Amino acid sequence: MLFLDRADMDKRFRVLRQELVERPTSNELRGWSYEAPPIKPLSTSLRFGVGELASRYCETLRDIYLRRILGVKPPPSFKMARGIAFHEVMKAALFDIKRFIYEDLSSGGKGLLASLLPRSESIGFDAVERAEAALGSRLGEEDRRLVASGCSNLYEFLVIQGAAALDRTLSKYPHAEPDSVVNAAVPPVSERKVDGSLVGLSGELSVDIYTPYNAIADVKTGEVRSFHPLTLAGYALALESEEGIPVDFGFIIYVKLEKRVPSFTIKPLIVGDEVRREFLEVRDEAYQIITSGRDPGKPSRCPSFCPYYAVCEGGGV
């Protein structure tokens, strides 16, 4: 499955399943228990994005006050643009690989490389333009070139991985139809849409990767942060509320493009009681800030990597 090696994943799941037996997730903290506290949202009309709650750069949740009450957006930054652009590339690569398999399966991995690799440069600049459109701000020329180059490298890497996965699948299943090949060679669902409204979240969330193991994965392009597991808790609750099936396992995939070939670090974890409770507490606290309209104030020490750092510390608000 491209950057998720199936054999490696099987080993990781064996360890996680044992941990889950020792520390099972409470039924009251499953998304399908949305009719009773603590899952039941305090409001059916006020909904949050998972990232809005889970990105806890600010421990007092002042970012939510600034965004929701004062209408202040964080200043666009290079890191924001890079993160959006990388996600656009991964989405484009998976779509292109799947489309090729459906249209030209007999050409195999070599044909896939010949068809898609020439597109890498244009894909890179398209991703940058999409990121700029999303942020409403244009990068400087040097930053544009840097992000576009990284995007092109990432696209090429994913296409090469896709070609290898395609050939492995064709070698093992020579009579497989395109739909079966896609299922075996490519992540089953990327950008999985899910309605989180029953648990107080947006009605159109997007999960980066949803696997047949009932596990979810979230792709990060920046530094490792302690609050990243909250993202998985939010998506797990939303999926459980919509599908009624347990989502016990999660992976945070960190992508680095410091060299020509990207590197991936995978952090597996159980989406257990502790992280679910923490996510729900943030959700309810955010609701109270918005309904009261009160400024929770700045934390005792603002991290310089907070998207709102320049706003709070620069005297903007």
Per-residue confidence (pLDDT) for residue 316, from 0 to 100 = 63
Residue indicated by tokens 């347990």: 246
pLDDT tens for the chain, 317 residues long, are 456 677 777 788 888 899 999 999 999 999 999 999 999 999 889 999 999 999 999 999 999 999 999 999 888 889 999 999 999 999 899 999 999 999 999 999 999 999 999 999 999 999 999 999 999 989 999 999 999 999 999 999 999 999 999 999 999 999 999 999 998 888 666 678 899 999 999 999 988 877 766 788 888 988 999 999 999 999 999 999 999 999 999 999 898 888 888 888 889 999 999 999 999 999 999 999 999 999 999 999 999 999 999 999 886 67
Quick one: 241 exposed, middle or buried, by C-beta within 10 A (0-12, 13-18, 19+)?
Answer: buried
pTM metric for this prediction = 0.89
How does strand 205-210 pair with strand 215-220?
Answer: antiparallel
Per-residue confidence (pLDDT) for residue 207, from 0 to 100 = 84
| Alpha-carbon distance values, 101 to 116, 168, 169, 173, 187 (Å) | 12, 13, 11, 14, 13
Per-residue confidence (pLDDT) for residue 217, from 0 to 100 = 86
Asked whether the beta carbons of 286 and 178 are under 8 A apart, the reply is no
Q: Where are the alpha helices (DSSP H) in the chain?
A: 6-22, 50-54, 62-64, 78-104, 108-116, 120-135, 141-172, 178-185, 229-243, 273-292, 309-313
Q: What dihedral angle (degrees, nearest 10) is formed by the CA atoms of 143, 145, 146, 147?
A: 90
Count the Cβ atoms, other than its own, within 10 Å of residue 17. 13
Name the DSSP class of 239.
Answer: H
Per-residue confidence (pLDDT) for residue 257, from 0 to 100 = 82
Distance between CA 137 and CA 262 in Å, rounded? 26
| Alpha-carbon distance values, 234 to 166, 180, 240, 313 (Å) | 33, 31, 10, 29
Name the DSSP class of 86.
Answer: H
Per-residue confidence (pLDDT) for residue 4, from 0 to 100 = 67
| Alpha-carbon distance values, 296 to 114, 177, 187, 226, 244 (Å) | 55, 57, 41, 22, 36
Specify which residues 209 forms β-bridges with: 190, 217
Sequence-ordered list of residues with C-beta below 8 angstroms from that of 68, at least 6 positions apart, any chain: 289, 290
Q: What dihedral angle (degrees, nearest 10) is formed by the CA atoms of 254, 259, 262, 264?
A: -40
Distance between CA 185 and CA 220 in Å, rounded? 22
